[in-house]
Structure 1
Amino acid sequence: MTLAQAPLLVDGARHSAQTFRMMIKDLSRGAEGVTEAADLKVTPLPVPGGGVQVADGSAVIRGKANAWQGSYTAYNIGSATVPIAPTGATPRSDLIVLRVSDPEFEGGLDPTKDAINYFDVIPNVSPTTTSVPKGVTGIAIARVDLPANTGTVTSGMIRDLRRVANPRRERTLYTAYPTKLSKAFRDDDQWHDWPPEARWTIPVPDWATKLIVTVTIAGLRMDYDSLLGKLRLIFGTVQGQHTMVDDNQGKVVRRSTAIVADTLTLPADYRGTSQVLYLQANMSKNWKGDLGTDAGTSIIADVEFTEGPV
């Protein structure tokens, strides 16, 4: 067979399960993993014991038994309990997998009465394992690293292995152009909001888990004397890493470019809200020079939200 017949969706044609699986593969761009950041998270039981619970959510699983098997979808409504056997005298690592056993390709399950997709435990894997064994149609969602003589699973034993199949990204550039001179002149080793134009109210997507932000100040003015200072960004109440500005050229007016950047993990309550991004300056009390922005300065904020497991 070369070109498969009949393509979706042709009125009057019969469409095989493979045709739909291939559609899932195409729409998911051949990727596999959970659908959204919180899907299928593995946590201890409400009262920790000999098992874990898997949160609700959905996933895409790529078939591994055949090159043209396509991909499957699976979803969990509510929390599912997965038993974990206790250890004996030696520690053990178990891999928790969302698995699909399609009898068209493997095993002998009957779809009319058997569970074709299920949470499986692959015991005694390497403590560095992060993916399913070769040929297994499934996705790893967690690894449980159990100490010796343990029958109770706690949060510290669970390693999250989920990946978002097609993580969303949203990138926007924000700009500001000062029209008059503003100086960071308080030489007191304290943080102060500056420059006033570097302030933007930014909507946070309801799926975002991280923020990658770069603020560039082009045409940053320095004068009055040599200086030593720091610049940092704030998003909402989350503080970013600082950038040093160190210049010893004396009293002459000069210009440079400063870049302040960080990758921030977003608090859950930021999603679906708007937060303010702004800059702060901290000038050393041992140096008297000033930082400044004016009509010769451009400020650019490169803001990118990304999605990942939480």
Structure 2
Amino acid sequence: MVISHDVELLAEVVNKVWFLDATRAELDPYNMSWKRYLEARATDEKRRRRERANAEKKASALQQQAAKLGAKATKAVAAKNMARRAEQMLAGLDETRRADRVAKIKFPEPAPCGRTPLTATGLSKTYGSLEIFTGVDLAIDRGSKVVVLGLNGAGKTTLLRLLGRMETPDTGEVVAGHGLRVGYYAQEHETLDHDASVWENIRHLAPDTGAQELRNLLGSFLFTGEQLDQPAGTLSGGEKTRLALAGLVSSAANLLLLDEPTNNLDPASRAQVLDALRSYAGAVVLVTHDPGAVEALEPERVILLPDGTEDHWSPDYLELVQLA
């Protein structure tokens, strides 16, 4: 039994789907493959809408007839029976299913900055006796798009943390250029205070933004009402991702350091992130196992770890994205 947002995995593996319909509070079993389930569920939704429309039309006609008969004392009983039938017809209908809400994700307009907002020279990092990488040099130009590749353990996340000043290199330095403003997305959501509420987190991430503007922002990321008071540590993985992304959107970062930004997202929200990557005008350094995210970014360069080799992007690297 698997719960996953990876539709490619589901298409390859499953032969039965259980759809939990929150509107009807029922579990609908589909004994078929993922692709056939999508088609069958779409057909079921159309059937329910058609049945409801027909029943509402018939109930409306009965109610109108009951209203006419009700004006005559001799027809009062018939009028009540018709009205009761109309109520029963409507009561037996499923509630109209609301369209799935999707977070509206758009990365910020970048603040002005110099030609090269970030440079790093001679970076190395060691944990105990384990050398992660050494002698890494790079320069991130304004608006440039860079993807970092390497096998697990090669230091991709570590490099992002060094560039974001979340960690200190053993050797070398990271130098901020004129006007640098960094937005950092951590795949483990370390930028969130898990003991603080959703509202307290966004206030901390955007202290200079007005309260109503922040409420509107959280609403666009599907956080409303009592959920604003919910501790961030109790959120699901996808909800933590949305909250962390809301923090990025509230900034005016001109360099985004993104570590697996599509993890935990449902397919619709993932599509929103990919659209945001396509339209973002600032610089991006991306770590991901998601080929779709790389294609959306359209990187110019690739950094290969642990050697720190820099190369022009080529579609030949796309296969390495999933392996890394």
| TM-score (norm: length of structure 1) | 0.20
The structure with more helix, counted as a fraction of residues:
2
The structure with more strand, counted as a fraction of residues:
1
| TM-score (norm: length of structure 2) | 0.19
